[in-house]
Structure 1
Amino acid sequence: MADDARTAAEARATDWIIRQRDPAFADWDGFTDWLAEDPDHADLYDALASLDRDLDALPPEHAPSVVIRPETPRRPSRRAWFGGAVAAALVAVVALPQLGLFGDPNRIETAAGEHRSITLADGSKIEINGASVLELDKDRPRFARLESGEAMFHVIHREDDPFVVEAGASRIVDLGTAFNVVRRDRRTSVAVSEGVVLYNPQRDKVRVTAGQAIEAGDADAKPPRVHPIDIANVGGWRTGLLVYNDAPLSIVAEDLRRTAGIEVAVAPDAAGQSFRGALIIDKDRARTVADLAALSGTIAERRGDGWVLTR
């Protein structure tokens, strides 16, 4: 295998390892197809997976505040790959920065199209969409900060110790809850599927119950207005369903990139178009984009690795 091809294969093997850490990972057909493309792929994957496990076995410096529960993949039998110290060093240099094994365990960053699920020490669960940054605090186990992107929270309620989520200037306090939070462009959206959250309890004191949502900007002077939503659509990105009611096409494009890694740009002549309807994230990305174009009255033009929507 040529050097460039090996580097690309190592990056792809690392990507499979990261994705398979997510309990919701289901693309085993794609993984099997990738293994079948080249006999060396299985060797590369086995070597990096072994290195990953060996490093995970090292004792941590601090007790972790989050537990990542990966599924155990069913893979072909192992074959030896390391041919010596030089090869081992090369794999370590390539693989370790991408896996983030020596990074801050309380800062979770996902790539576009990557979904990750984490379980906290108290049993609360956070599902993180792609292109997102979430920070935890080892000194505050009932706290999370969504810097950007999207996450679904399933909170174990404690009356004397509420779970707090910060997103920009917004502070969301659980009252026994499952809720989805989106953070983009200095704005925060919250949608509740179970229980109740209290939005900015020290200022706005807005109660958002199951079947309701709010959207607020950091500079807004007035408390956000609560509006009804369909509970079934809250956090729909987890199952590949995106539902909109007169959303700007730029928002839909951003969601497609975050959720599925689909790159869609909106041309100036289509910037004023809004979108109402449901998109199903298909394995065939072109089909998803074609559905978006058909439902929004635009034309999807393929450009490079992505698409541009025009009128």
Structure 2
Amino acid sequence: MQPDASPAEARAIDWLIRQRDAAFDDWDGFADWLAESPDHAAIYDAIASLDQDLDALPPLAKPVVVTMPIAPRRPSRRAWFGGAMAAALVAVIGLSTVNPFGNADRIETAAGEHRTIKLADGSRIEINGGSVVEIDPDRPRFARLEAGEAMFHVVHRDNDPFVVETGGDRIVDLGTAFNVVRRERQTSVAVSEGIVLYNPDRDKVRLVAGKAIEARDGDRRPPIVQDVDVASVGGWRSGLLVYNGAPLAVVAEDLKRTAGMEVQVTPAAAALSFRGALIIDANRDRTISDLAALSGTRARRQGDGWILTR
């Protein structure tokens, strides 16, 4: 870099160098620095882009931070990781009529399409791409996530809890905001506000803000409650995907759902873990390049998509 770099540029360089260390764990400090100014995100992104040693970065240790221009939105730590780039990102939410030519009570989104629906009680459901949500006009405090992902913002009522069903699971809300993902034979729940009860008639798992579970169909034991950064819950709404050792196959599935990106992972690479924050860039090639560099894989174009190999 040039010797007359600004203090912000110097600090961005320092963060980049520190993140090369596999033992780096000051992600909260990094997020706080990004949150200090909307310019920090762009500066860090520019520095990372100019780094000629990107391919030498240790895998599984650092998030890549990239941005795409979007309409302004009120910054919020809950919007995504650390509130760092909320001013530079926006959820691609369609507010158009839900299924205007079909069943209005069944909302289906295409890959990369985001929608928000408001319920009669004032609650909101933000629906990610590649998802199916069903509501029932006779049960205004009920929704079913058949597949995909949705963020629920529920208005609290003491004697009338909100119920979300997905797979064979039942999630009872006690006035909160929480994210639910339904994958093949697996349900994930993460809470950013308030409290939810997971399968209160069977597993009796209580989740408060900052807690999450991943439950597989057929498990005899209740799922283990894990810690989660509340700022990352529902981060897909702003184009941010945060992972803590998720298989690459899961990352590929999330990219398709959230951004409509077709990413295949070879069997040899499917179980490789990815740890960090991946932000969907307007230049999709760059997003894939960053993912490959930080996961220790090689990416190549295949038709309209990409394939990751070990």
TM-score (norm 1): 0.69
How do residues 40-55 of structure 1 correspond to structure 2 at under 5 angstroms? none
**Structure 2 counterpart of 1:279, one-letter code:** L
**In structure 2, how many angstroms separate the alpha carbons of the residues matched to 1:283 and 1:310?**
23
What per-residue deviation string (whole Å, max 9, x for no partner) do you get for residues 6-48 of structure 1? xxxxxxxxxxxxxxxxxxxx868xxxxxxxxxxxxxxxxxxxx
The one of 95, 120, 138 aligned to 1:70: 95
Partner of 1:283: 282
Partner of 1:114: 113
**Structure 2 counterpart of 1:240, one-letter code:** G
Report the RMSD for the aligned CA atoms in angstroms: 1.8
CA contact (8 A) 2:98 2:107 kept: no
**Structure 2 counterpart of 1:253, one-letter code:** A
CA change 1:283–1:306 in 2 (3 A) is: same
Partner of 1:174: 173
* Other structure's SS at 1:290 match: helix
Report how far residue 277 of structure 1 moved: 1.1
**In structure 2, how many angstroms separate the alpha carbons of the residues matched to 1:308 and 1:99?**
33
Structure with bigger helix share is 1
CA contact (8 A) 1:69 1:118 kept: no
Identity rate, percent: 71
Report how far residue 102 of structure 1 moved: 2.7
How do residues 99-178 of structure 1 correspond to structure 2 at under 5 angstroms? 100-178=99-177
Q: How many residues align structurally?
A: 221
CA change 1:170–1:99 in 2 (3 A) is: closer
**Structure 1 counterpart of 2:221, one-letter code:** K
Partner of 2:219: 220
Question: Which has the higher Rg, Structure 1 or Structure 2?
Answer: 1
**Structure 2 counterpart of 1:307, one-letter code:** W
Partner of 2:83: none
Partner of 1:250: 249
**Structure 1 counterpart of 2:95, one-letter code:** P
Report how far residue 179 of structure 1 moved: 0.0
* Other structure's SS at 1:221 match: coil
**Can you give the 5+ residue segments of structure 1 that lack an aligned partner in the other structure?**
1-25, 29-67, 72-97
Report how far residue 70 of structure 1 moved: 3.4
What per-residue deviation string (whole Å, max 9, x for no partner) do you get for residues 228-265 of structure 1? 01000000000011010110000000000000001100
CA contact (8 A) 1:69 1:119 kept: no
**Structure 1 counterpart of 2:256, one-letter code:** R
Instruction: Identify the structure with bigger relative contact order (alpha carbons < 8 Å, sequence gap 6+).
Output: 2
Partner of 2:271: 272
Report how far residue 114 of structure 1 moved: 0.1
Is 1:233 equivalent to 2:232 in the alignment?
A: yes
